[in-house]
Chains A and B, each alone.
Chain A
Amino acid sequence: DTAVSQTPKYLVTQMGNDKSIKCEQNLGHDTMYWYKQDSKKFLKIMFSYNNKELIINETVPNRFSPKSPDKAHLNLHINSLELGDSAVYFCASSQDSWPYNSPLHFGNGTRLTVT
């Protein structure tokens, strides 16, 4: 069974479109994240939710809006897509046993290509 699953795996779309990426985890974790990996392979955190509550909101454009219907799901909606949004987006989850940095479990990523 896949612990953290994201869909779709590939997403090709045109500039200006709106798209969503879905993420689900079956690990019973309390915290979920969205990370963006650019062409240079830097992994940057975008958002983090703990029990459906937004706890981290990095400096990302307002066009990106995360939604967590329950603690097992964290979806990412992107409005008015731009060329610079092309990247691989990773969903992750962790047990978040504060104050320790509990290990992250990642999905296999969604490769977004904006043309």
Chain B
Amino acid sequence: LAKTTQPISMDSYEGQEVNITCSHNNIATNDYITWYQQFPSQGPRFIIQGYKTKVTNEVASLFIPADRKSSTLSLPRVSLSDTAVYYCLVGDSMDTGRRALTFGSGTRLQVQP
């Protein structure tokens, strides 16, 4: 099973760049790396997904080294509204042979003014 390890919490200030690193040593060849954001009283929301190297969208960038054993979510110039829990996921093989996403404990990001 592909497990992930993330820092429990991080603090930042408005306008700073935040990098959250996730370790996934047992990632499988076909697994993609996906990041989600969760605000209180809401379901997780998809942020970005990648397989290797670098992916960028309007919200974040995802950096994945060649060995794919880790990944880094980069949030440029965070604001107070970026305060949330961020989850890193990789595919998880289940007994039925189908795949689902297993969520770890996530990283609680607190952005201060």
Contact = CB atoms under 8 A, between A and B. Distances in A.
B43 A109 contact: yes
A107 B43 contact: yes
Interface string A72-107: 000000000000000000101000001111011111
B106 A103 contact: no
Given A41-B85, A41-B105, A101 B42 contact: no
A101 B103 contact: no
A101 B44 contact: no
Contacts of B45: 106
A92 B31 CA distance: 20
B43 A108 contact: yes
A68 interface: no
A91 to B, nearest CB: 8
Interface in A31-82: 33, 35, 40-45, 48, 50, 55-58
Nearest to A107: B43
B100 interface: yes
B76 to A, nearest CB: 21
A105 B96 CA distance: 22
24 contacts: A4-B43, A33-B100, A40-B105, A41-B85, A42-B104, A43-B87, A43-B103, A45-B101, A45-B102, A48-B98, A56-B98, A57-B96, A99-B30, A101-B49, A101-B99, A103-B34, A103-B46, A103-B49, A104-B36, A104-B46, A106-B43, A106-B45, A107-B43, A109-B43
